[in-house]
Amino acid sequence: MNAAMLVLMIVVGAAAMVCAIMAAFTYLRRKRDPLTADRLARRWLAATAIFGISAIVLRFVWLLLL
């Protein structure tokens, strides 16, 4: 059970990291339409927040299960 929670927490944290990188990439490379790039970056940041909070909650659940 510990290994599964650890792997799940690492996967969710990695997903948050990828979303944060994509948010920065889409925000910094806005050439044609800045409004669309801003909206897309905000969506990536929302996904980052969701995955980040999920990773933190999983960590506390993992600590409770120990």
Q: Which residues of 32-52 are buried (b: 16+ CB within 10 A; e: fewer)?
A: eeeeebeebbeebbebbeebb
- Position 47 scores a pLDDT of 97
- Position 9 scores a pLDDT of 93
Its sign, for the CA torsion 22, 30, 49, 46, is negative
- Position 1 scores a pLDDT of 80
**How far is 59 from 2, CA to CA, in rounded Å?**
11
What are the two backbone dihedrals, phi and then psi, of residue 16, each rounded to the nearest 5 degrees? -65, -40
Per-residue pLDDT of the chain (66 residues; tens, 9 = 90+): 888 889 999 999 999 999 999 999 999 988 878 888 899 999 999 999 999 999 999 999 988 888
Q: Write down the pTM of the prediction.
A: 0.85
